Structure 1
Amino acid sequence: MAYKEYDVFVIGTGTAGKNVAKACAKAGQKIAIADNREYGGTCANRGCDPKKVLVGLAEVIDRSHKMLGKGITEMPKVSWEDIQEFKKKFVDKVPAATEDDLKELEIEMYHQSPKFIDENTLSVEGKTIKAKKIVIATGNKPLELNIPGNEHALVSDDFLELKNLPKSMIFIGAGYIGMEFAHIAARMGVKVTMIDMESRPLSNFEEAVVNPLVEVSKDLGIEFITDASVNEIEKLRKNFRVSAKKGNETLEVKAELVFNTAGRVPSIDELDLEKGNVSFTKKGISVNKFLQNPSNKNVFACGDVSDSEGLPLTPLSSQESKVVISHLTEENIKEEAKYPPQPSVVFTLPQIASVGLTEEQAREKGYDVIIEEKTDLNWFNAKRINERHYGYKTIVDKKTDLILGAHIISPEAGEMINLFVMAICGKLTRYDLKKMIFAYPTWGNDIKGMV
């Protein structure tokens, strides 16, 4: 049987996959790459970047509403259609630009999901491929709802491509994606209902910052149904009906559109991993400290699809790709994956952000901690834009005065948390932080008052 041979075959063209492919090609290796979707990955095409463009319009609405009567005389007119056209400027060129970059390096491209035939052999586009090393960087995809009528639920990709907004929406799942989209939609006048199995939204975050966000959400008209499991989605003449079980009670909610925002899972089910002797878990491809698969040493995984300590974040994908690159291109440098504190941001309005340990995690690890928690801060940065919801919770080691964790709700929480990342990584004590001179009046300067 005729087959093609490569030094490295990369599956996935997001940040991690394309980084590996390009680095190996520059090292003189024969490389191929494959993707069953448009090239460029989730973040650039249908994730972080286009979402943030839509958030930008919601920020204008939010700021205008808060300053109404304080310099703003009337609310601005907004157009969903116009912001969608503006968003295209950021995403439409990504696939072609990605392919052009790969082509320039003579990387062969495939537009289908490969399947393993054996440990070093793949089938893709009807061709048999032999590769010395195989890198899996396929990312995550929406978790499929295992309920009757699940085909009626749209996913995040669909929200980002909506040509027109409906009058009502239901989000099944109140995590990052659901909450961010709910805030965008509600500020555009959509009636939003959120259903979640947990007792509160964003259960991975500290209640100190989530509770005020829930209050803001309710003020926007967002309705929450918590501790509820969805049983069925039914198509009616005009709307959809979602049935959910809450305790002994069955609830029914109707809306024009239903979105599945219940979470994301590794995108691996099309790969036939068993045939390649590639071990995996529910969290993704199993990896050791070198991001190498334990059962098939010729396979590496990086980015969201790897079952590593890393969070599903684009910057983390980039870091993991560098580790894999060191094993594929360097003779003497074999890097281990290291995971410094990783910040998480939810781009609602206001934002919430977190880095390091929660109070519960710190106590479980045996730390004697100093907890500082304040909400509804009346500090200048919030007052000048009429923001009522500003607060934080910080966790400091009483023995060393090192900062163990920071959790913020603020219009600029995402930027503020980066300073806490630097403080934790740099092993700065709270007193070191307080001694620093920051520009004033800025949000960054406020962190000195939080420890």
Structure 2
Amino acid sequence: MDPYDLIVIGSGTAAQVAIGKVRAAGWSVAVIDHRPFGGTCALRGCDPKKMLVSGEEAIDAAARMTGRGVDGALTIDWPALMAFKRTLTGPIPAKQERHYAGLGVDSFHGVARFTAPDMVEVDGQALKARHVLIATGARPAPLRIPGEALVSTSDDFLEFRTLPRRIALIGGGYVAAEFSHLAARAGAQVTILQRPDRLLPRFDPDLVGWLMPRFRTLGIAVETAATVTRVERSEGGLTVHALRRGEPDISVAADLVIHAAGRGPDVEALDLAAGEVAAEDGRLKLNEHLQSTSNPRVFAAGDAAGVGPPLTPVSSHDAKVVAANLLHGLSHRPDYRGVPSVVFTVPPIAAVGLSEETARRDGLKVRINAASTPDWFTARRLGEPVYGHKVLIDERSDLILGAHLVGPNADEVINLFGLAIRHGLTATDLRSTMFAYPTGASDIGYML
């Protein structure tokens, strides 16, 4: 049996980038996935979600401009919006398979598992490898509560052809915030049950606070400091039970309960022990080159690696690092400076670089410019009541250390702050830049 130069387990962003690099160098490659080819971002995550967000953006824009020159109510047609989403996702798996065939890559469908340090089996077929890339993405973390089998995933939500009337979300991060906004604007009654004391704990608390009125105006019930204890069937649907210390039990009636309580590397099915791939608490043990510490043939990238932020650009970056290490020797390391993160609520909230909490904990001398500014032109012209920023600047070097934005264009403007952080631009550099006016970017000078 001739070994493949590289076997890639998974077919998402990291897999696609790594395969393109090594095939260009003439390596023989096999790719394996037990789900349709394309990966989470293209089929079950970022891209289809953003297609649906387009619908709520239109609804929200019309609502904000009502009485300001716009007349007439709009509603979301959920089945039609989902059909619009499928115009993107439907063709992807076949297109991806054709792409791999054109590259000369051998494709396999099924669950992959190690049978030896250099052997992978898929549907009873043994494949030998010089190297293996684990790019399996992430899966919902176990809830470990009674009734967990009754809880749907974000994947399920993105496939519902009709929208359930009552929706409960367990967790209060990206998925809960984004899906609650979308479902509420589409007419659902939505409840979020979050264990920590506030939503979006990875984002600046001041900016999250400025965004929270949007949840209230949408009628989204937010239960924080609430630990979900069980989910059970009840007459007419499901009931979610939760505890809040010192208060009566919480019970929420729902037609759909969604897992939004975090994800972890999807490596459980791989039989890592047979491959001599070390892991701890469900996470691969990797060195600084994204290489297994116990089996040097094996590398990982993206959410499966679990090293950088769980974002699509990180998956692509990791794959480039792995490919460079495979092709040119172990001299490349990932660099996660200036990676922006966005929650696509309407309006969005975004962050890049250091938080205020981290800067103060580390004793950094920083200048912090922060303000809620719904009276600025960018917000006023859109009738948007939520707009604000917090920017951290090093007092000695004038470098941008962190930026936190909420409101119109936050998802785009955050990239300019990411550029500054990654490439060492100072606040003076940004202030001296002439941005097109009036645009969201033209507000940057006033944020500094």
Distance 1:77 1:224 in 2: 24
- 1:375 paired residue among 372, 375, 395: 372
RMSD: 1.4
Partner of 1:280: 279
Partner of 1:259: 258
Name structure 1 gaps, 5 residues minimum. none
Distance 2:373 2:447 in 1: 13
What one-letter code is carried by the residue in structure 2 that aligns with 1:130?
K
| 1:177 equivalenced with 2:193 (yes/no) | no
Whether the 8 Å CA contact 2:368–2:391 is kept in 1: the answer is: yes
Distance 1:433 1:154 in 2: 45
Partner of 1:14: 12
| 1:409 equivalenced with 2:406 (yes/no) | yes
Partner of 2:131: 133
Whether the 8 Å CA contact 2:139–2:263 is kept in 1: the answer is: yes
- 4+ long deviations beyond 6 Å: none
Residue 141 of structure 1: CA displacement? 1.1
Whether the 8 Å CA contact 2:301–2:319 is kept in 1: the answer is: yes
Partner of 1:336: 333
Partner of 2:212: 214
What one-letter code is carried by the residue in structure 1 that aligns with 2:279?
F
Name structure 2 gaps, 5 residues minimum. none
Distance 1:243 1:38 in 2: 35
Q: How many pairs align?
A: 447
Q: Give CA deviations for 1:386-441 in whole Å, capped at 9, x if unaligned.
A: 11110011111112221111000012101010111112223222222111111110
**Bigger mean CA offset, 217-226 vs 21-30:** 21-30
CA gap 1:392/1:96 in 2 versus in 1, 3 angstroms: same
Partner of 2:424: 427
TM-score normalised to the size of structure 1?
Answer: 0.96
Whether the 8 Å CA contact 1:266–1:282 is kept in 2: the answer is: no
Q: In structure 2, the residue corresponding to 1:116 is in which secondary structure?
A: strand
Q: In structure 2, the residue corresponding to 1:274 is in which secondary structure?
A: coil
Q: Give CA deviations for 1:321-356 in whole Å, capped at 9, x if unaligned.
A: 1111112233x6842222222110000011000000
- 1:400 paired residue among 390, 397, 400: 397
What one-letter code is carried by the residue in structure 2 that aligns with 1:327?
N
What one-letter code is carried by the residue in structure 2 that aligns with 1:156?
S
Aligned 1:111-130 pairs, distance under 5 A: 111-130=109-128
Whether the 8 Å CA contact 2:289–2:333 is kept in 1: the answer is: yes
Distance 1:268 1:162 in 2: 27
What one-letter code is carried by the residue in structure 2 that aligns with 1:306?
A
Residue 78 of structure 1: CA displacement? 2.9
Distance 2:193 2:6 in 1: 44
Distance 1:361 1:317 in 2: 25
Partner of 2:105: 107
- 2:187 paired residue among 179, 186, 189: 189
Partner of 2:202: 204
Whether the 8 Å CA contact 1:265–1:282 is kept in 2: the answer is: no
Q: In structure 2, the residue corresponding to 1:276 is in which secondary structure?
A: coil
Residue 17 of structure 1: CA displacement? 1.0
Residue 283 of structure 1: CA displacement? 6.5
What one-letter code is carried by the residue in structure 1 that aligns with 2:169?
F
Residue 285 of structure 1: CA displacement? 2.0
Partner of 1:60: 58
What one-letter code is carried by the residue in structure 1 that aligns with 2:374?
L
Distance 2:22 2:430 in 1: 41
CA gap 1:190/1:49 in 2 versus in 1, 3 angstroms: same
Q: In structure 2, the residue corresponding to 1:367 is in which secondary structure?
A: coil
What one-letter code is carried by the residue in structure 2 that aligns with 1:419?
L
Distance 2:138 2:182 in 1: 23
Distance 1:78 1:186 in 2: 10
**Bigger mean CA offset, 172-181 vs 360-369:** 360-369
Distance 2:331 2:423 in 1: 25
Whether the 8 Å CA contact 2:165–2:255 is kept in 1: the answer is: yes
Q: In structure 1, the residue corresponding to 2:249 is in which secondary structure?
A: strand
Partner of 1:349: 346
Percentage of identical aligned residues = 40
Partner of 1:303: 302
Distance 1:171 1:279 in 2: 34
Whether the 8 Å CA contact 1:370–1:398 is kept in 2: the answer is: yes
What one-letter code is carried by the residue in structure 2 that aligns with 1:286?
K
Residue 4 of structure 1: CA displacement? 5.8
Q: In structure 2, the residue corresponding to 1:5 is in which secondary structure?
A: coil
Distance 2:146 2:423 in 1: 51
Q: In structure 1, the residue corresponding to 2:436 is in which secondary structure?
A: coil
Residue 92 of structure 1: CA displacement? 0.4
**Bigger mean CA offset, 16-25 vs 143-152:** 16-25
Distance 1:377 1:423 in 2: 25
Partner of 2:314: 316
Q: In structure 2, the residue corresponding to 1:177 is in which secondary structure?
A: helix
Q: Give CA deviations for 1:40-68 in whole Å, capped at 9, x if unaligned.
A: 10000010000001000000010100000
Whether the 8 Å CA contact 1:283–1:305 is kept in 2: the answer is: no
Q: Give CA deviations for 1:217-276 in whole Å, capped at 9, x if unaligned.
A: 011100011111111111123121000011143111101111111111110000010121
Residue 364 of structure 1: CA displacement? 2.0
**Bigger mean CA offset, 193-202 vs 369-378:** 369-378
Whether the 8 Å CA contact 1:373–1:394 is kept in 2: the answer is: yes
Partner of 1:364: 361
What one-letter code is carried by the residue in structure 2 that aligns with 1:144?
P
TM-score normalised to the size of structure 2?
Answer: 0.97
| 1:390 equivalenced with 2:387 (yes/no) | yes
